[in-house]
A = this chain, B = another copy of it.
Amino acid sequence: MASSGSRVVDIHAHMYPPAYVGLLESRQTIPLIRRFAGAKDPRYIILPAEAESLEKINQAGATATTTQLPGRPVTTHYSSLQQKIHFMDTHKIDISVISLANPWLDFVAEAEAAETARSVNREFESMCLEHPGRLFFFATLPLSAPAEELLAAIDFVRGLKHCRGVILGTSGLGQGLDDLRLIPVFKALAKNGLMIFLHPHYGLPSEVWGPRATEEYGHVLPLALGFPLETTIAVARMYLAGVFDEVPDLKMLLAHSGGTLPFLAGRIESCIVHDGHLVREGKVGPKRRTVWQVLKEQIYLDAVIYSEVGLKAAIDASGVDRLMFGTDHPFFPPLTSDEQGEWESMTWNKAAVEKALGEGSQGTLAVMGGNAIGVLQLKEDA
C-alpha cells in the first residue's frame, strides 16, 4: 500500500448491498429492479421516462431480444464487494468511502424506514469490517421515519466504527433541505462530527429537456445538467434559509464538485445584494456571511467534475484543502472497453487533478487522498 502522503481515496463510491437490491426487486413503481428474459443483467429503472418504457414493454410482452430495455444494467459492480475491491485495486485506490446510491430510502414507508436503515447501515459496517483500512462509509438516514426514530438513527450510526457521515438526497422530509424541521437533524449530525454527503437524485422536471430529449439524447441532459442543478438549488436554499448560520459546525460534502456552485457563486451573490426583498428584510447586512465564506468554512467538494476547467473553479472556490477525489463508481462504466479494466471516471478525474495542480504535487496528493484522510479521519484504529 502507498505511503500515507500518496494514498488515494475515493470519496464518491456507491454500493447496492444485496438486501437493498432485494428491496428494489420487490417494487412495482420506480425505483425498481426488473429482470427480463434473455437479458444478462437485471435493469435498474429510476427515471419517469424509463417507467413509461417499462409499461409499454409489459403490455407488449417484449423481451431483451425484441426491444431496447429501459434503465441501466445492474452489473456485479453494483452489489459485489469483491468487484468494488477489484475496481479499487485496478485503479490503485487505497481507501473508498462507500455510500448507498440514490434514491436511498426516500421511498420507504414510515413504519419500515428505521428498521430498513438500521439493516442497511449494519450491512455497510460489515463490508468495512471485511476489508480493514480500505473501506469506510457514509450511512443512510430513515428520513420517512418519525422524528424521534430519525434522531435515534443518528445515534446508532455514530456508534458504528467505520461510519464517517451520512449521505443525503435533496428532498429532506419532503419539502427540501431548507425545511426548518430538519434543524435538529443537522444539529445532531454536527454535534457528532458526522459530515453530510449531499447527492442528487430527482434532477429537474422532465419538460425542461424538450420534446426530443427522451428519444434522442439518452440520459445526457438529466444526468449532466439536472443532477448538478438539483444539488446547487438544494444548497442555495439552505444558504438562503440561514441553515449554515444556524448550524455553524455542520460540514457538508457536495457531490459533483458542488453541482454548479463554484461557477455560479458570484451570480448568486450579485442576485442577493441586488434583491429588493432581501435588502428590505435586512438580510443583506454587513454581518452576512457570503456564499464564498460558507464555501470555505462549511463546504467540501468532491472532484467528480471530469475536467481541468471545472476542477480549477472548484479549487478556487473552496480551497485546495477542501477538495476530495472520487469516481462515482459503479456508475458510468466503460461502454467500448472491458468493464474489468480502466474506467474513464477514474482516468478523467485523476487527469483533471494532475493537470490543475501538477503531477505528484502537494496539492494533488491532498486532493487525491490526503484531504479525505485528514478531514474524515480514515484510520482503522481511529
Using a CB–CB distance below 8 Å, which chain A residues touch chain B?
68, 72, 175-176, 178, 204-205, 207-213, 216-221, 223-225, 228-229, 232-233, 236-237, 240-241, 256-257, 260, 262-280, 305-310, 312-313, 316-317, 332-336, 344-345, 348, 352
How far apart are the CA atoms of A178 and B221 in the complex, in Å? Answer: 13
Separation of A302 and B237 alpha carbons in the complex (Å) = 27
**B residues within 8 A CB of A210?**
175-176, 178, 233, 237
CB–CB B310/A270 < 8 A: no
Apart from A216-B240, A219-B271, A275-B335, list 19 A-B contacts with CB within 8 A.
Answer: A176-B211, A205-B205, A213-B237, A217-B237, A218-B277, A225-B232, A228-B267, A229-B260, A256-B267, A262-B310, A262-B313, A263-B309, A263-B310, A266-B348, A267-B307, A274-B334, A274-B335, A276-B335, A308-B316
Stoichiometry, as copies per complex, reads 2
Would you give the shortest CB distance from A11 to chain B, in whole angstroms? 17
**Do the beta carbons of B260 and A352 come within 8 Å of each other?**
no
Beta-carbon contact of A220 and B279 below 8 Å: no
* Residue pair A310, B313 in contact (C-beta under 8 Å): yes
Top 9 closest pairs, chain A to chain B, by CB: A266-B307, A266-B306, A218-B277, A263-B263, A218-B275, A224-B271, A313-B313, A274-B332, A270-B306
Shortest Cβ gap from A172 to chain B (Å): 10
B218 touches A264 (CB 8 A): no
What are 29 residue pairs bridging A and B, where the CB atoms are less than 8 Å apart in the complex? A68-B277, A68-B280, A72-B276, A204-B204, A204-B229, A210-B237, A217-B240, A220-B271, A223-B271, A224-B267, A224-B268, A225-B264, A225-B268, A229-B229, A262-B309, A262-B313, A263-B310, A265-B309, A266-B352, A267-B307, A269-B306, A269-B307, A270-B306, A270-B345, A274-B335, A279-B336, A309-B316, A310-B313, A312-B316
Residue from the list B219, B220, B225, B280 in contact with A229, Cβ < 8 A:
B225
Residues of chain B with a CB closer than 8 A to A204's CB: 204-205, 208, 229
Q: Contact: A332 with B270, CB < 8 Å?
A: yes
In the complex the two chains form, what is the Cα distance from A216 to B240 in whole Å?
8
Once bound together, how far apart are the Cα atoms of A232 and B232, in whole Å?
14
CB–CB A348/B270 < 8 A: yes
Q: Which residue of B lies closest to A309 (CB)?
A: B316
Residues of B within 8 A of A308 (CB): 316
A207: which B residues are within 8 A, CB to CB?
205
